[in-house]
DNA sequence: CTTCGCTAGGTTTTT
DNA sequence: CCTAGCGAAG
């Protein structure tokens, strides 16, 4: 351990701020510090509270502590903010008028409540959009504004309506015995303020508080930490202002920048030696982030050596960008590297699609982290909603979700009437269902169906009390005939059934390893993050957003989609604060790399299916020339053309943070606000082209946008397909000369690619639109001439490639 | 009450 | 381009 690290570990008394740059051994310091506290008998395990942002980070921390000290980790509270405070809230629920079986609402559930409130307040078709409302409520909560305070914080018609909805929303949640994510941080504050003696209990208990990724805390987290630590002032926070990337979620950089002012007597330790990356990588990352105004000045250094230059990979479009990356990965593997070494990072989840297709085509194993999550799939949410309703009978969102799923003839009209009746009688929905006489006015069929539903829930609940969680789920599936319901959906349903099986397996696993039952399972499920599902043991390339990648490291990293408007994102371009966050995001991305960093972009990228222009990211301009390797791209993307990027950009983008005296090469001095010009269009850049292709991409035919109607361009498509496939280890695409003259073999799923023309035994000719690889099964969307678009399982579809 | 077909809007990032 | 969500018809 270096002297700075050692000092940080041993400064056990009073407030401590550890400014830990990327790769500076932050986790090591944090865990050693805990081990030190225990070794020196300064603290006993249960007196330590360590808070992280992801379960993965928490797990890693626990494991590493366990290696340092023996055994006693079990009594220590190490977990995410959300899980730790959920735990505290369950214990203290009665003080807040909640039941300890409260449900945690995710953002989907929140939206349902908001919509319900808006309907009730007749604001459904106004200018307020439910998602906006949801985010307004969330922002209010992050700023610790309750409905009353929020109401007086601003004025105007819209704000008034927002306040009304927020107030109703809070009431609905309470009535449903439910808390949203934000509540998990806010309610503890309410509790501690209203019941100082409860606060005291936790203050006494947690004499040592440690917080990881402190730069990402919001005001509520700041406050709850302050409350807990104010007694002993043994608060140690670790963070890096350059890695604050959750501003949009309410993270407040001031928390870390002002820490020493909040806590008198703060000792600050700076960890600036990086053990992860090469000098080249660090310099590139620094070149971008150092333009920010809001940061502690600092500079990482390393003894890892200079390292290799950063290749620039330029693809004609997103598919070719992906193909170039695949080629590099294949090279890496040929040189004895493992796929596990490699990560692809992107700004938005939508970018994963083109990359995924390329990986499939090249036969490279990959795992996408994030995107649509398992627990957010419809079939999973349906079943979880049943289980949630069993645990918490007041959970309205879940009730409304399952009451007519699968269809049992209880529609909106019935529900609305029944709700009205029960409300009048002061009954909860499920209680009301048991009062048959009240239901008479609902007409002929409805009462019976409602009672039947009530009985279903009743039976399931009795089994929950006596049996195992897996048995409950089994009975649920049986009674609702849910599997049959899914199977009736056709091929789509088959995959959903698989997901249900996975849920059963997950529940079984939980049951075998925990005592906490159904309620515990639901809590765990509610609080998983995308990264938590990431499997770092398997040999595959990892694809994820930059946000998900924080805290991770990989020997080889590709940062993709470095186009102005994508990374940095368009919405951030004219807001200095957001632009700073984008730069930090780039900094995070680049500093994930240990040995090798690649920067990639595409000259053209389809968005919403429409072609869009890709100007190289302004970040690329900030990186000193001598760090980049344009040896291959350089043929066409040479120094002479560099200015033209900037010229083009300068005409429509100004960079408010470029310091005077540091004019950007070839551009207008940008501290003088550049006029926002919409025309003329950026100058054409002939021959500004594609990376490392051996074929000159300038001679490449443009990709046809709509393969289905591209008959006249078939030749072009074929050539393009050949290019895309040229690196495939399995096969060289060999287009059939005359489609009608011969019947091709049934294609191996790995041979299929978007744009390929195929022949199906019964459905006839079609064109592949795209491929997906969920659950290890390649699925293929084909637009058939006869029947339109069909989704098929590639393995079973017996498709033949035709010319 | 359900089903079908159309359209508008969505892609920032997530506990 | 894709899909969720809405309105109209059965």
Q: What is the DSSP track for A311-359?
A: EEEEEEEHHHHHHHHHHHHHHHHHTT--GGGEEEEESSGGGHHHHHHHH
| Phi, then psi, of A779 in degrees rounded to 5 | -115, 150
Residue A412 CB in 7 A reach of strand C:
no
Q: What are phi and psi of A679, to 5 degrees?
A: -135, 160
Residue A307 has a pLDDT of 97
Spanning CA of A605 to C1' of C3, the rounded length in angstroms is: 21
- The answer to whether strand C lies under 7 Å from the CB of residue A772 is no
- Of all nucleotides, the one whose C1′ comes closest to residue A410's CA is B1
Residue holding tokens 């202002």? A241
Query: A348-403 pLDDT, tens per residue?
Result: 988 988 898 899 889 899 888 877 677 878 888 899 999 999 999 999 999 989 99
Nearest-nucleotide field for A566 (CA, C1') = B12
Mean pLDDT of chain A: 80
DSSP classification of residue A561: -
Going by C-beta distance under 8 Å and a sequence separation of 6 or more, which residues neighbour residue A50?
Answer: A30, A34, A58, A61, A76, A77, A78, A79, A209, A210, A211, A212
Query: Stated in angstroms, how far is A425 CA from B13 C1'?
Result: 45
Q: What is the pLDDT of residue A790?
A: 59
pTM: 0.79
- Are the CB atoms for A757 and A765 separated by under 8 Å? yes
Task: Kindly report the bases of strand B lying within 7 A of a protein C-beta atom.
Answer: 1-3, 10-15
pLDDT tens by residue, A194-239: 999 999 999 999 999 999 999 999 999 999 999 999 999 999 999 9
A243 is an active site residue: yes
Residue A112: which nucleotide is closest by CA–C1'?
A: C5
Question: Strand C positions with any atom < 7 Å from protein CB?
Answer: 1-2, 4
Higher pLDDT, A437 or A560: A560
Marked catalytic residue, from A92, A182, A213, A241: A213
**Is-catalytic flag, A504?**
no
Percentage of chain A exceeding pLDDT 70: 78
Kindly determine whether the C-beta of residue A42 is less than 7 Å away from any atom of nucleic acid strand C. no
Q: Which residue did the predictor score with more confidence, A33 or A691?
A: A33
Residue A697 has pLDDT above 50, yes or no: no
- Asked about A213 being catalytic, the answer comes back as yes
| Catalytic (active site) residue A705 | no
d(CA A767, CA A711): 10
> Residue A82's pLDDT band (boundaries 50, 70, 90)?
very high
- Say yes or no: Cβ of A609 under 7 A from any atom of strand C: yes
- Check if the beta carbon of residue A21 is closer than 8 Å to that of residue A276: no
Closest nucleotide C1' to the C-alpha of A607: C1
The answer to whether residue A628 scores a pLDDT higher than 70 is yes
Distance, Å, A427 CA → B7 C1': 40
The residue annotated as part of the active site, out of A12, A27, A262, A658, is A27
Average pLDDT in the A669-683 region? 25
pLDDT band per the 50, 70, 90 thresholds, residue A666:
very low
Q: Are strands A48-52 and A77-80 parallel, antiparallel or unpaired?
A: parallel
Alpha helices in A349-490 (DSSP H): 352-361, 378-391, 396-402, 412-425, 429-433, 446-466, 469-480, 482-487
Q: What's the rounded Cα separation, in Å, for the pair A227 and A189?
A: 8
Integer distance in angstroms from CA A765 to C1' C2? 23
As a whole number of angstroms, the distance between CA A536 and CA A56 comes to 11
Q: Return d(Cα A286, Cα A700) in angstroms, integer.
A: 37
Nearest residue: Cα versus C1' of B11:
A350
Q: What pLDDT is stored for residue A499 in this prediction?
A: 85
- pLDDT number for residue A767: 66
Q: A168, A182, A212, A379: which is the annotated catalytic residue? A: A212
Grade residue A534 by pLDDT with cuts at 50, 70 and 90.
confident
pLDDT at res. A609:
77
A123 touches strand C (CB under 7 A): no
Q: Which residues of A in 706-735 have their CB below 7 Å from strand C's atoms? A: 706
Comparing C-alpha atoms, which of A310, A232, A225, A194 is closest to residue A593? Answer: A310
Quickly give A577 CA vs B7 C1' distance in Å.
36
The Å distance, CA of A400 to C1' of C4, is 18
DSSP 8-state class, residue A698: G
Check if A396 is active-site. Answer: no
Q: What is the DSSP track for A151-165? A: HHT--SHHHHHHHHH
Instruction: Please give the full DSSP string across A520-560, using - where no structure is assigned.
Output: HHHHHHHT--TGGG--SSSSSEEEEEHHHHTT--EEEEEE-
Does residue A773 have a pLDDT over 50? no
pLDDT in tens, A294-334: 888 889 999 999 999 999 999 988 999 999 999 999 999 99
Alpha carbon separation from A737 to A101, A628, A716, A742 (Å, rounded): 67, 43, 14, 9
Confidence of residue A645 (pLDDT cuts 50, 70, 90): very low
Q: Of A156, A153, A122, whose CA–CA distance to A139 is shortest?
A: A153
- As a rounded value in angstroms, the CA-to-C1' distance for A485 and B2 is 15
Residue A105 corresponds to which tokens in the numbers above?
């609402």
For residue A684, pLDDT beyond 70:
no
The pLDDT of residue A734 is above 60: no
Structure token digits, residue A411: 């529609």
Kindly state the average pLDDT of the residues A622-632.
89
Cα A150 to Cα A232: distance, rounded to the nearest angstrom:
33
- The mean per-residue pLDDT over the stretch A712-729 comes to 38
Q: What are the tens digits of pLDDT across the range A107-151? A: 889 998 998 888 888 777 667 788 888 889 999 998 899 999 999
The predicted structure's pLDDT at residue A183: 95
Mean pLDDT lowest for which of A225-229, A269-273, A600-604, A710-714? A710-714
Closest nucleotide to A707 by C1' from CA: C1
What is the average pLDDT across A87-98? 96
Beta carbons of A387 and A525 less than 8 angstroms apart: no
What is the pLDDT at residue A667? 25
Which candidate, A252, A194, A193, A187, places its Cα nearest to that of A219? Answer: A252
Q: Check if A26 is active-site.
A: yes
Quote the CA–CA distance of A677 and A661 in Å, as a whole number: 24
A608 touches strand C (CB under 7 A): yes
Sequence-distant (6+) residues with CB within 8 A of A727 are A323, A326, A327, A330, A362
The one catalytic residue in A54, A110, A215, A243 is A243
pLDDT, residue A2, reads 94
Highest mean pLDDT: which of A5-14, A289-298, A438-447, A778-787?
A5-14
pLDDT: is A655 or A761 the higher one? A761
pLDDT at residue A712 tops 80: no
Mean pLDDT confidence for A92-100: 96
pLDDT at A660 exceeding the cut of 50: no
The DSSP line for A610-646 is EEEE-EEPHHHHHS-GGGEE-TTGGGTS-HHHHHHHH
- Here the tokens at position A701 are 């035919």
């Amino acid at each position: 351990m270096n002297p700075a690290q050692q000092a940080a570990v041993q400064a056990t008394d009073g407030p401590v701020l550890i400014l830990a740059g990327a790769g500076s051994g932050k986790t090591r310091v944090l865990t050693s510090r805990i081990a030190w506290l225990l070794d020196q008998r300064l603290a006993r395990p249960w007196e330590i509270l360590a808070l992280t942002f992801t379960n993965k980070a928490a797990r890693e921390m626990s494991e590493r502590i366990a290696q340092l000290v023996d055994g006693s980790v079990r009594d220590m509270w190490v977990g995410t903010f959300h899980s730790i405070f959920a735990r505290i809230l369950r214990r203290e629920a009665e003080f807040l008028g909640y039941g300890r079986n409260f449900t945690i609402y995710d953002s989907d559930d929140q939206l349902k409540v908001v919509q319900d409130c808006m309907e009730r307040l007749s604001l459904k078709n106004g200018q307020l959009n439910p998602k906006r409302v949801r985010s307004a409520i969330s922002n209010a909560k992050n700023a610790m504004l309750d409905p009353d305070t929020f109401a007086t914080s601003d004025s105007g018609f819209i704000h008034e309506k927002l306040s009304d909805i927020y107030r109703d929303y809070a009431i609905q949640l309470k009535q449903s015995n439910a808390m949203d994510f934000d509540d998990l941080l806010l309610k503890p504050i309410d509790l501690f303020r209203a019941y100082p003696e409860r606060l005291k209990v936790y203050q006494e208990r947690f004499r040592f508080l440690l917080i990881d990724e402190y730069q990402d805390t919001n005001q509520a987290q700041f406050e709850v930490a302050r409350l807990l630590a104010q007694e002993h002032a043994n608060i140690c926070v670790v963070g890096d202002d350059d890695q604050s990337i959750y501003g949009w979620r309410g993270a407040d950089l001031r928390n870390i920048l002002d820490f020493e002012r909040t806590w008198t007597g703060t000792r600050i330790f700076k960890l600036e030696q990086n053990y992860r990356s090469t000098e080249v990588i660090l310099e590139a990352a620094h070149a971008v982030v150092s333009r920010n105004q809001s940061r502690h000045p600092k500079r990482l250094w390393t003894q890892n050596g200079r390292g290799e230059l950063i290749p620039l990979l330029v693809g004609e479009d997103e598919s070719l960008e992906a193909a170039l990356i695949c080629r590099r990965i294949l090279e890496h593997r040929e040189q004895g590297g493992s796929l596990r070494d490699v990560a692809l990072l992107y700004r938005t989840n939508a970018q994963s699609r083109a990359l995924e297709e390329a990986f499939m085509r090249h036969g490279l194993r990959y795992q996408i982290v994030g995107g649509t999550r398992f627990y957010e799939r419809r079939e999973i949410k349906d079943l979880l909603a049943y289980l949630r309703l069993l645990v918490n009978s007041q959970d309205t969102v879940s009730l409304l979700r399952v009451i007519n799923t699968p269809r049992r003839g209880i529609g909106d009209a019935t529900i609305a009437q029944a709700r009205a009746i029960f409300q009048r009688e002061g009954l909860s929905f499920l209680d009301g269902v048991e009062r048959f006489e009240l239901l008479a006015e609902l007409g002929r069929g409805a009462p019976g169906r409602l009672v039947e539903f009530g009985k279903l829930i009743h039976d399931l609940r009795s089994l929950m009390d006596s049996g195992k969680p897996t048995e409950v789920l089994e009975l649920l599936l049986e009674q609702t005939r849910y599997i049959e319901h899914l199977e009736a959906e056709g091929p789509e349903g088959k995959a959903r059934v698989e997901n249900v099986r996975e849920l059963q397996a997950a529940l079984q696993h939980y049951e075998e390893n925990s005592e906490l039952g159904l309620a515990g399972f639901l809590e765990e499920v509610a609080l998983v993050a995308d990264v938590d599902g990431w499997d770092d043991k398997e040999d595959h390339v990892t694809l994820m957003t930059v946000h998900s990648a924080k805290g991770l490291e990989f020997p080889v990293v590709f940062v993709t989609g470095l186009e102005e408007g994508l990374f940095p994102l368009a919405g951030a371009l004219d807001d200095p604060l957001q632009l700073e966050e984008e730069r930090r995001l780039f900094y995070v991305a680049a500093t994930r790399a240990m040995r090798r960093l690649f920067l990639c972009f595409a000259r053209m990228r389809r968005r919403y299916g429409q072609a869009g222009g890709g100007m190289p990211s302004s970040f690329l301009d900030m990186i000193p020339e001598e760090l980049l390797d344009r040896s291959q791209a350089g043929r066409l993307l040479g120094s002479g053309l560099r200015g033209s990027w900037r010229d083009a950009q300068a005409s429509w983008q100004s960079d408010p943070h470029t310091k005077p005296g540091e004019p950007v090469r070839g551009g207008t001095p940008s501290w003088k606000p550049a006029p926002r010009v919409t025309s003329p269009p950026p100058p054409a850049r002939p021959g500004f082209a594609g990376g490392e292709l051996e074929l000159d991409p300038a001679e490449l035919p443009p990709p046809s946008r709509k393969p289905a109607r591209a008959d006249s361009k078939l030749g072009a498509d074929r050539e393009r397909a050949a290019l895309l496939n040229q690196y495939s280890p399995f096969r060289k695409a060999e287009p059939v000369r005359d489609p009608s003259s011969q019947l091709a073999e049934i294609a191996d799923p790995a041979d299929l690619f978007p744009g390929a023309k195929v022949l199906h035994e019964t459905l006839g000719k079609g064109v592949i639109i795209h491929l997906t690889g969920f659950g290890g099964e390649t699925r293929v969307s084909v637009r058939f001439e006869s029947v339109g678009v069909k989704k098929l399982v590639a393995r079973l579809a017996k498709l033949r490639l035709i010319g």
